Structure 1
Amino acid sequence: MKKIITIVAAILVVAACSKTNLKIEGVIADNRLDSKTVYLTNIDMTHLDSTEIKKGKFSFKCRVDTPKIVTLQIDMGQDEPIERQIVLESGQINIKIGADNEIDVSGTNLNDIYSDFWRQNKLLDKKYENALNISEKAAAEVDKEYVELGYNFARNNPKNIVGKIAFLSAYWGMSIAQREEIISLLDDNFKTDKKIAKIISNIEQEKKASVGQPFIDFSANDINGNEVKLSSLVGQTDYLLIDFWASWCGPCRKALPSLKALYDKYKGKKFDIIGVSLDSKKEDWAGAIERFQLKWTNISDLKHWDSYPARLYAISFIPNTILLDKEGKIVGRNLHINEIEDILNQK
């Protein structure tokens, strides 16, 4: 599953144009963009500032006291905007937008580092798209490259915002040891970020639900209101997969056909699935079960991210999986379909 680089950062830019320490100079190759509006926007898409493109150029001047991530965006009307994330920091930031609308950012230290990270991720995006046309296994290998890239950038930049961004983009695939290493290196100010604070708090719980540990029991109601305990299914088959998902989760829906094919191939004494939905509305959950014709047991406490089973297993993103063996021991976490099948074929 492609993990898109979504930067979760609170953006509060202190503007004081009488004492500017930041200048953005933009040059655009396509003269058809003249008179278009360029925005600097927060993560919530609220506008910080805007300017007009004139004769293939635009500029901003303001003040920032702490480096921040924002999106530079050109409004294209009915079409998709031309956009890229940049680091607002003191100095002159140079923006070049080519005829193909690719945006090059340079001029300050953090933007040079971030541009390198961005460029390498874009190369992996193309590689991932090609891998999807080959096999799940090929895509899974590219996923590992995303994680390695994020880990290395975070490890090399723990005190600046690029390191924070890199960590948030790849923590999902890092081992507990790797996450603990990066967290120990991060600037203390970054550790108060809500997402990072949650990652930190999840680590201790995840250790209790890590590979090699016994399963942790839970219960929730199925779609008909009947209580189902995890322990009632453990040991009934060689392997039991706990699939954490939700109807509102696009990657979850995309993964369901492959999961259904795996279930149809191995169901019986060898394999079973229990789905744990992080939905909050029963009608959405029920609709997805019917639409995708999910035949395995599905339960939910309809508490969204406050789902008790998800908290027990330190689930911080979905889709996510926990694989149990016949004795109830955890033998895998966050497995791709091909990895699950490899384990099933060991017996």
Structure 2
Amino acid sequence: MKKILLASSILLSAYSFAQFNVKVEIPSYLSDSEIYLYGFNGSKEILYSKAKVSNNVASFKIDKQYVGMMRAFFKKANSSVNMVSENKDINFRIDLDSKNKISNVTFQDQANQLFSSEVESQKKQELILPALIQIKDYYKPSDQFYSSLETEISTLSNKDVSAYTDHPFLDFYNKNQKYSVQEKGVELKPEDFINFYSRSGEYLETSTILKPSLINFLNVSKSNVEGNVDKLLEAVNLETPRGQTIMSELIEIFNTYGMDKLKDKYLSQANNLKCTINDRLASTIQANKNTEIGAKMPNNNFVNAIHTKAKSLYDIKASKKIVVFWSSTCSHCEAELPKLLEKYDKLKAQNIEIIGFSLDSNLDEFKNKANIYPWVNDSEGKGWYSSYGDTYNIVATPTYFVLDADNKIISKPNHVGDVLDYLKVN
């Protein structure tokens, strides 16, 4: 009996500390790049490892079991590679184009070869298949080209899924794409989505399907969004990690789309839960507390600040502060920030300062754009992986806050015009 228990203990220990490696052959241009590997919890990306680079090979070591989608981010190229983890070693090579962007990815393992083929097939189905169907109408069935078109249409329309049987995650991903694709989601009923969330196995949270499928669920529930959300949350049980992750996703979706009444309702419900709260929902609750009217905005230590010698947000003294989260690649920012620039002298005359936090991933692009504006600007150079998202509940750019002299949030304007109206600057 002791031997059996000992063997079981060893097996359990090996399972608990399962690990795998990801190795990437990279061009020499990326040998000095920071390279990160992320996994997923719903729409939240979790940093699993930073690469060690040697002899043009970037190596990641994963010390915990993980099955699902992963993403490698190559900072210098500002490009990413999506892949599938089966808790096994992954090896691939990347090539760059003339602009040093990733142009080709070659995987060695079967799972990622299948996944790459699936992605390519989806692109063809979305872009090429509709065109081929239209072109076919211009030919007669007796034409040789008509027969060729029919063959290609048949190939693109019918997938061979037999290869997925040896890859449970890919099988799950393939079978459930219909919930996350808008064109297919509209054909489903709210009950279909509710059954999917409540009956899905362990792969849902790591599949990247959750958030887009929830958006589709809300779209097909538009005649009774609140009622169907209540049914969903009851079905998935808010005392479980899945229920709380889904609630977190919904609160963030409502926040993104300005559905404040629903956001406030379910945020209040989350705050009143008596059970243990998982990290995902706890971070959503905290981010909203950080940015509610009357809250003191959390401080931020500058890392790449320009136009200031201050070390942090709190170091900047003014009767009021306009805090704006923006990006050099954001078209709405391009339209709105010049209007702040036009009024900057008037704002300064009233002892109002502007502090910009950029969600750029390229610091050179950030500085080139930020130097146009005379106010304080800073960026972590991590894009949407900056700390700003979790700390300040940032889901879109530009996002504005108006603070008083004590850094308390006194307004959360939607647009630059609302900022100027609130501050009575004409």
TM-score with structure 1 length normalisation?
Answer: 0.50
Greater C-alpha Rg: 2
The reply on whether 1:245 has 2:326 as its aligned counterpart is: yes
CA distance in structure 1 between the aligned counterparts of 2:270 and 2:158, rounded to whole angstroms: 37
Structure 1 counterpart SS, 2:184: strand
CA distance in structure 1 between the aligned counterparts of 2:415 and 2:308, rounded to whole angstroms: 30
Tell me which residue corresponds to 2:55.
Answer: none
The reply on whether 1:68 has 2:176 as its aligned counterpart is: yes
CA distance in structure 2 between the aligned counterparts of 1:85 and 1:242, rounded to whole angstroms: 38
CA shift for structure 1 position 269: 1.0
For the Cα contact (< 8 Å) 2:270–2:285, is it kept in 1?
no
CA distance in structure 2 between the aligned counterparts of 1:153 and 1:253, rounded to whole angstroms: 38
The reply on whether 1:170 has 2:272 as its aligned counterpart is: no
Tell me which residue corresponds to 1:295.
Answer: 374
Tell me which residue corresponds to 1:24.
Answer: none
What is the aligned length? 248
CA distance in structure 2 between the aligned counterparts of 1:310 and 1:114, rounded to whole angstroms: 20
**Relative contact order higher in (CA < 8 Å, ≥ 6 apart):** 1
The reply on whether 1:329 has 2:408 as its aligned counterpart is: yes
Tell me which residue corresponds to 1:219.
Answer: 301
2:364 to 273, 277, 283: 283
Structure 2 counterpart SS, 1:223: coil
Tell me which residue corresponds to 1:230.
Answer: 313
The reply on whether 1:86 has 2:184 as its aligned counterpart is: yes
Distance verdict in 2 for CA 1:224–1:116, change over 3 Å: closer
More strand by share: 1
CA shift for structure 1 position 153: 5.6
Amino acid corresponding to residue 400 of structure 2 in structure 1: T
> What is the identity percentage for the equivalent residue pairs of Structure 1 and Structure 2?
20
Structure 2 counterpart SS, 1:201: helix
Structure 2 counterpart SS, 1:86: helix
CA distance in structure 1 between the aligned counterparts of 2:413 and 2:224, rounded to whole angstroms: 19
2:392 to 309, 313, 317: 313
Structure 2 counterpart SS, 1:288: helix
Tell me which residue corresponds to 2:337.
Answer: 256
How big is each residue's C-alpha offset from its partner over 1:167-188, in whole Å with a ceiling of 9 and x where there is no partner? 5533333556334257689xxx
How big is each residue's C-alpha offset from its partner over 1:116-160, in whole Å with a ceiling of 9 and x where there is no partner? 854798xxxxxxxxxxxxxxxxxxxxxxxxxx9976764454448
How big is each residue's C-alpha offset from its partner over 1:13-37, in whole Å with a ceiling of 9 and x where there is no partner? xxxxxxxxxxxxxxx9x962549xx
CA shift for structure 1 position 283: 0.6
Distance verdict in 2 for CA 1:324–1:108, change over 3 Å: closer
**What RMSD, in angstroms, separates the aligned Cα atoms of the two structures?**
5.3
CA distance in structure 2 between the aligned counterparts of 1:199 and 1:250, rounded to whole angstroms: 31
Matches within 5 A, 1:31-70: 32=134, 34=136, 53=153, 68-70=176-178
For the Cα contact (< 8 Å) 2:403–2:409, is it kept in 1?
yes
Structure 1 counterpart SS, 2:420: helix
For the Cα contact (< 8 Å) 2:380–2:386, is it kept in 1?
yes
Tell me which residue corresponds to 1:274.
Answer: 355
CA distance in structure 2 between the aligned counterparts of 1:256 and 1:53, rounded to whole angstroms: 48
How big is each residue's C-alpha offset from its partner over 1:85-117, in whole Å with a ceiling of 9 and x where there is no partner? 424xxxxxxxxxxxxxxxx73689538998785
Matches within 5 A, 1:72-221: 84-87=182-185, 105=187, 110=192, 117-118=218-219, 154-155=229-230, 157-158=232-233, 159=235, 169-172=253-256, 173=258, 177-180=264-267, 198=280, 200-220=282-302, 221=304
More helix by share: 2
CA shift for structure 1 position 296: 1.4
For the Cα contact (< 8 Å) 2:359–2:379, is it kept in 1?
yes
Matches within 5 A, 1:10-25: none
CA distance in structure 1 between the aligned counterparts of 2:264 and 2:285, rounded to whole angstroms: 10
CA distance in structure 2 between the aligned counterparts of 1:254 and 1:199, rounded to whole angstroms: 34
Structure 1: runs of 5 or more not aligned: 1-6, 13-27, 36-50, 73-82, 88-103, 122-147, 186-190
Amino acid corresponding to residue 178 of structure 1 in structure 2: K
For the Cα contact (< 8 Å) 2:326–2:333, is it kept in 1?
yes
CA distance in structure 2 between the aligned counterparts of 1:114 and 1:310, rounded to whole angstroms: 20
For the Cα contact (< 8 Å) 2:252–2:284, is it kept in 1?
no
CA shift for structure 1 position 166: 6.1
How big is each residue's C-alpha offset from its partner over 1:197-237, in whole Å with a ceiling of 9 and x where there is no partner? 64641322431442112343333142378444323333x23
TM-score with structure 2 length normalisation?
Answer: 0.43
Structure 2 counterpart SS, 1:342: helix
Distance verdict in 2 for CA 1:253–1:120, change over 3 Å: farther
Distance verdict in 2 for CA 1:343–1:85, change over 3 Å: same
How big is each residue's C-alpha offset from its partner over 1:228-251, in whole Å with a ceiling of 9 and x where there is no partner? 4323333x23x2111112224444
Structure 2: runs of 5 or more not aligned: 1-41, 45-67, 70-83, 85-129, 138-150, 163-170, 195-213, 237-241
CA distance in structure 1 between the aligned counterparts of 2:306 and 2:406, rounded to whole angstroms: 27
